[in-house]
């Protein structure tokens, strides 16, 4: 089984399980409402059969409760329809995101994945100038910094995964900050290879090694 196929099946299974849970909750709510509604009707019929003919009871309260029951039933039906729509949307996202597995992509993230000892970011400058790059580990401690000369327009910068002392750091997710000569932040996209797709509480995430980003963070596929 290929990596792409396995990722598709895993994401699809997780999405199906989540959708099944939501559908089950909706079915239980509708079943409970039906049971309560039947009990209400039985109570109403009993009171009507045993009321005093000379002083019939006020039916306005029962009418109000009938309207409330109907409103709740319609709301549950609407929720069930929305659940089905969400299921279709999630299934489409699974297929789209699984197609990215094994490909190099650019994503919007403050972190960059160090994969096989290499991490790359893409950034754009309005004019040529110096850009300072600072890489920090998961604890927020800077492990490497450098200054590069960027050209006007699109640029890319790659880090070889080495710390300031020259030691090789392990693959993982590292935080990157780019700034121009005036100290202003330079926006960038992180580049990495998609290694999997996961369902994170109903949101599909792309995995780039140890870095997970929402599918909506995908900016472009590079190969």
Alpha-carbon dihedral 167, 148, 213, 183, rounded to 10 degrees: 110
Query: Hey, what are 145's tokens?
Result: 């910094």
Burial 174-197 (b: 16+ CB within 10 A, else e): bbbebebeeeeebebbbbbbbbbb
Residue 135 and residue 143 in contact, taking contact as beta carbons nearer than 8 Å: yes
Say which residue the tokens 């999997």 belong to. Answer: 196
Q: What is the pLDDT of residue 16?
A: 45
Kindly calculate the radius of gyration of the chain based on its CA atoms and give it in whole angstroms. 29
Q: What is the mean pLDDT of residues 26-38?
A: 61
- Give the contacts of 85 (CB within 8 A, at least 6 positions apart): none
For 59-82, the pLDDT digits (tens) are 676 667 667 766 766 776 676 666
Reported as a pLDDT band with limits 50, 70 and 90, residue 8 is very low
Q: What is the pLDDT of residue 42?
A: 73
pTM, whole model, 2 decimals? 0.60
Considering the chain, what percentage of its residues have pLDDT values greater than 90?
47
For 101-160, the pLDDT digits (tens) are 899 999 999 999 999 999 999 999 999 999 999 999 999 999 999 999 999 999 999 999
For 38-63, the pLDDT digits (tens) are 666 676 677 667 766 766 666 676 66
Judge whether residue 201 has pLDDT over 50. yes
């Amino acid at each position: 089984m290929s990596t792409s196929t396995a990722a598709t099946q895993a994401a699809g299974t997780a999405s199906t399980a989540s959708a099944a849970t939501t559908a089950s909750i909706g079915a239980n709510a509708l079943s409970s409402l039906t049971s309560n509604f039947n009990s209400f009707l039985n109570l109403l019929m009993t009171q009507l059969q045993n009321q005093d003919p000379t002083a019939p009871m006020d039916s306005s309260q029962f009418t109000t409760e009938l309207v409330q029951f109907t409103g709740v039933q319609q709301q549950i039906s609407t929720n069930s329809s929305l659940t089905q729509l969400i299921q279709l949307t999630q299934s489409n996202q699974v297929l789209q995101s699984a197609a990215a597995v094994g490909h190099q992509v650019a994503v919007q993230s403050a972190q960059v994945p160090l994969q096989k000892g290499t991490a790359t970011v893409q950034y754009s400058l309005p004019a040529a100038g110096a850009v300072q790059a600072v890489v920090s580990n998961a604890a927020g401690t800077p492990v490497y910094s450098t200054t590069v000369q960027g050209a006007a327009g699109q640029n890319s910068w790659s880090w070889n995964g080495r710390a300031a002392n020259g030691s090789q750091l392990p693959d993982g997710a590292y935080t990157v900050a780019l700034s121009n000569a005036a100290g202003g932040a330079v926006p960038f996209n992180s580049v990495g290879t998609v290694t999997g797709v996961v369902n994170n509480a109903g949101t599909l995430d792309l995995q780039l090694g140890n870095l997970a980003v929402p599918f909506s963070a995908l900016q472009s596929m590079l190969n």
